[in-house]
Structure 1
Amino acid sequence: MKKQKLPEKICPVCKRPFLWRKKWKLNWKEVKYCSERCRREKKKLMLFG
């Protein structure tokens, strides 16, 4: 894939766009967060809303 054609999603924690990565090839539909840090931060957001 060319870079300008890569799928993109918005991270619900940091609200920034992130692009498809090769390591997410098999589970792109399940990927919600742009990084491990944002994945961990989701718990804080749920607690402190």
Structure 2
Amino acid sequence: MVTHKKQHLPQKTCLVCGRPFSWRKKWAKVWEEVKYCSERCRRQKNPAAAGTH
């Protein structure tokens, strides 16, 4: 059985919330274009709006 070490995955920082996020298999082909950690952050896209509702 092959085990994968998750601590060795590439990481980026979300442009909206500033939190680090790790590579996911669904992003394998588009990792260079991924900028946001979640769909919610992608919809906001405005760093000034983060945290204000």
Structure 2 gap ranges (5+):
none
Structure of larger gyration radius: 2
| Alignment root-mean-square deviation, CA | 1.6
TM-score (norm 1): 0.82
Which structure: greater helix fraction? 1
Structure 1 gap ranges (5+):
none
What is the aligned partner in structure 2 of residue 35 from structure 1? Answer: 38
TM-score (norm 2): 0.76
Name segments (4+ residues, structure 1) moved above 4 Å. none
Task: Supply the AA of the counterpart residue of 2:38.
Answer: S
- The share of aligned pairs that are identical, in percent, is 67
